[in-house]
Structure 1
Amino acid sequence: MNSFFENRNGQIVSTSGQMPWFSVGQEKYRVLIVEKPGIKYLQKGESKSFDHKFSLESWSNTIVNAIDYVTQNEKIDKDKILLAGHSEGGVVASRVANLMKDKISNVAIMAGEGPSQLYSLYKFADDGTFFNTKEHNMSTSEERINYVKEKWNNILADPTNTEKKFWGFTYLRWSSLLQTSVIDELSNYNGKILILQGTADRAVYPESATIAYTILLTKGKNVELKLIENADHSFNILDKPETDGWKMVIEKIIQWFNK
């Protein structure tokens, strides 16, 4: 849940692959990583406050405030700021870009959906990737899709509830993140956009990246799409386990940012 922890040697280690940004950026960039609202730095164990603050509004507003603080208090090039979001961070980054408009020059969406996440839930329920387990006991596409629709209706009926959960996350999380999308948020943003997606992703339906790319093109956006062949949700290359796909993707983002 937390983004950093202290290992046995007293070193601060990231939990979600943030550190390669430092190694790839070297001394050329300032890297800002914002801890999730409701979690204290290096906190151990569960956090009830996290569930209460796990929403698109809370996360995006926290990041906006952090960026504003840094740009006002640090010597950086304010004309060129890259914002990157992975997975559910894709729609969060898109919302931040929408809120900050021309203050953000570049946005990179890393396996972060295109349409609402409900699209991926639907598609993976349809093909049996999701909810086709002994626990759910739903062998047909129709059963699984109806299950998703039923759960979504339950969430909409109680959208701010932080006690009720679906798939381990609160109704507040689902309602706030799924009622908008990367496409919706970036339709109001005029900076440069890069969408990166693994073709073997089993958490985000890969086609969602192409949908986002083509729709944003129709809106006249400056957008590029990079599909990473046979990469999973964390950009591990399934047929090339020796390749650090995560680092490779970050390098591609930095190269694009430097154009």
Structure 2
Amino acid sequence: MGIGSTVVINFQQLKNTYRILLISKPNVPFYDTVKSDDNGFPVYEATKAYKEQLSLNWRVNSANAIINKLIEEKRIDTSKIVVLGFSEGAQVGPRLAKENQHITHLLLFGGNGLNQLLDPIINARMKATRGELSEEDAQKEVDSLFSEYKKIYKNPKSTDKEWWGHTYKRWASFTKTDPYKELLALNIPIYIANGSLDENSVLSADYIQLEFIKNGKDNLTYKTYPNHDHQFNEINKKDGQFVDAIPKLDMVISSAFEWLEKH
């Protein structure tokens, strides 16, 4: 038995400079007992309320309401309000910053620039390129993905149908708008970091930087960490074989906050 956390920031390091607001997902407690399976992996069953409510709109609206309430109650300094989003939160952040004009800075980690349903398609094509799949098998995988995507978009409000651990409602809501479009609409300082080995986001996140360059915008700082995965573990290999993974998340977050102090 031990204590763990899904929160990526170091409270002790930041508490003297920032007031920290954590906003939970729907019907998810801030702390709870989590069981493990036979292999030692954590198992936490999603509640019915979580599945029914989780969507991009829910997450944006809840965060927006809480921030506005704190501002109305004069409990925070409005000269610098920073939104930090990791993974799914990196898709929430751009929409939230677009909705709430009080937000002054955006820090995003491991997020997408395009429709995240494109990522599994890219991964299938890359497996074929690397020789891990035949072109025929890769095409079968892609065809299967498109078959699932058709089901999702035909049932965009369904909370009883699921794919890859999420409801159709969740997938449809988070892929309705490409994040890069919402980021382009912002004029506040934006910091984005991704790992080059992140199969979930890095290629479509690279597209964000391309669009900012194309549109002549200079409010984006984009950082890619070579040989780092989605959780910013540095992956070491020898002769193409995995050797170990060194956690570098604290360093990645610290670098982002160093940037924040200068902007």
Same fold per TM (> 0.5)? yes
Three-state SS of the structure 1 residue aligned to 2:123 is: helix
Identify the match of residue 202 of structure 1 among 195, 199, 202. Answer: 199
Structure 1 unaligned blocks of 5 or more: 1-6
Aligned-pair distance for 1:242? 7.9
Three-state SS of the structure 2 residue aligned to 1:79 is: coil
Q: Which residue of 2 aligns with 1:245?
A: 248
1:196-219 alpha-carbon deviations (Å, 9 max, x no partner): 010111332x22222111212333
- Is 1:83 equivalent to 2:83 in the alignment? yes
CA contact (8 A) 2:227 2:235 kept: yes
For 1:250 and 1:153, how far apart are their aligned partners in 2?
A: 37
Q: Which residue of 2 aligns with 1:170?
A: 167
- Is 1:215 equivalent to 2:218 in the alignment? no
Q: Which residue of 1 aligns with 2:42?
A: none
Listed as ranges, the matches of 1:28-177 within 5 Å are 28-43=17-32, 45-101=45-101, 103-128=102-127, 140-177=137-174
Three-state SS of the structure 2 residue aligned to 1:175 is: helix
Aligned-pair distance for 1:179? 1.7
CA contact (8 A) 2:81 2:104 kept: yes
For 1:120 and 1:59, how far apart are their aligned partners in 2?
A: 22
For 1:248 and 1:120, how far apart are their aligned partners in 2?
A: 26
For 1:140 and 1:193, how far apart are their aligned partners in 2?
A: 39
Three-state SS of the structure 2 residue aligned to 1:109 is: strand
CA contact (8 A) 2:233 2:245 kept: no
For 1:165 and 1:243, how far apart are their aligned partners in 2?
A: 33
For 2:226 and 2:209, how far apart are their aligned partners in 1?
A: 17
Amino acid at match of 1:60: V
Q: Which residue of 1 aligns with 2:189?
A: 192
For 2:83 and 2:208, how far apart are their aligned partners in 1?
A: 17
Deviates more, 1:42-51 or 1:22-31: 42-51
Deviates more, 1:217-226 or 1:51-60: 217-226
Deviates more, 1:161-170 or 1:138-147: 138-147
Identity %: 26
1:90-130 alpha-carbon deviations (Å, 9 max, x no partner): 111111011113x111111101011110221220122239x
1:114-155 alpha-carbon deviations (Å, 9 max, x no partner): 1110221220122239xxx9xxxx961211111111111111
For 2:218 and 2:159, how far apart are their aligned partners in 1?
A: 36
CA contact (8 A) 1:114 1:212 kept: yes
For 1:48 and 1:94, how far apart are their aligned partners in 2?
A: 27
Aligned-pair distance for 1:74? 4.7
The alignment's TM-score, normalised by the length of structure 2, stands at 0.83
Aligned-pair distance for 1:243? 5.0
For 1:74 and 1:169, how far apart are their aligned partners in 2?
A: 37
RMSD: 2.5
For 2:153 and 2:46, how far apart are their aligned partners in 1?
A: 26
Three-state SS of the structure 2 residue aligned to 1:195 is: strand
Q: Which residue of 2 aligns with 1:4?
A: none
CA contact (8 A) 2:191 2:222 kept: yes
Three-state SS of the structure 1 residue aligned to 2:193 is: strand
CA contact (8 A) 1:195 1:226 kept: yes
Q: Structure 1 pair 241/63, CA: closer, same or farther in 2 (3 Å)? A: farther
Tell me the number of residue pairs that the alignment of Structure 1 and Structure 2 aligns. Answer: 241
Aligned-pair distance for 1:221? 4.7
1:217-245 alpha-carbon deviations (Å, 9 max, x no partner): 33325001111121110001113968541
CA contact (8 A) 1:25 1:254 kept: no
The alignment's TM-score, normalised by the length of structure 1, stands at 0.84
